[in-house]
Amino acid sequence: MKNSTNSRSQKFWRLFFLATFGFVVAITLLPFWPETSLFSILGYVLLFAPRWWVLAIPLFLILGYRSYSRWQRYALLPLFVLCINFLDVQWLPSYSIDETDTLDIKVMSVNVGNSGDKQSLRRLIEENEPYVVFLQEARKASMEQIFDDSWITDCAGSLCIASKFAIQRVDALSRRSLGGWGAFATKYNADIFGEKVQLINVHLDTPRAVLEGLIHMDVDISNADDNSLSRNVQASLVSSWVEDRLPAIIAGDFNMPDNENIYQRYLGKLNNVLDYSDIGLRYTKYTKWHGIRIDHILFSDYFTAKRADVLDDFGGDHRPVLAVLGQPI
**What's the pLDDT at 105?**
96
For residues 319 and 280, the answer to whether their CB atoms sit within 8 Å is no
For residues 75 and 288, the answer to whether their CB atoms sit within 8 Å is no
**What's the pLDDT at 94?**
60
What does the DSSP 8-state code read for residue 206? Answer: P
Helix (H) or strand (E) holding 292: strand 291-292
Dihedrals φ, ψ of 286, to 5°? -120, 140
Which residues does the chain have with pLDDT short of 70? Answer: 1-5, 91-100, 114-116, 244, 279
Exposed / middle / buried, residue 225 (Cβ in 10 Å: 0-12, 13-18, 19+): middle
**What's the pLDDT at 114?**
66
**What's the pLDDT at 179?**
79
Separation between Cα atoms, residue 103 and residue 126, nearest integer Å: 20
DSSP letter for each residue of 306-321: EEEEEPPP-SSSB--E
**What's the pLDDT at 311?**
93
What pTM, to 2 d.p., does this model score? 0.92
**Who's near 307: CB < 8 A, 6+ residues apart?**
97, 276, 322, 323, 324
**What's the pLDDT at 69?**
94
Q: Can you list the domains of the chain with their CATH numbers?
A: 2-87 (no CATH), 103-327 (3.60.10.10)
Residue 305: which of 284, 327, 283 has the closest Cα? 327
DSSP letter for each residue of 126-193: HHH--SEEEEES--HHHHHHH--TTSEEEEETTEEEEESSEEEEEEEEESGGGT--SEEEEEEEEEET
Q: In the chain, what is the greatest distance between 2 CA atoms, to the nearest angstrom?
A: 84
For residues 311 and 87, the answer to whether their CB atoms sit within 8 Å is no
DSSP-derived 3-state class of residue 194? coil
The pLDDT tens digits of the residues spanning 274-290 come to 998 876 778 999 888 88
E-strand ranges in 4-97 read 89-90
**What's the pLDDT at 64?**
94
**What's the pLDDT at 35?**
87
**What's the pLDDT at 102?**
84
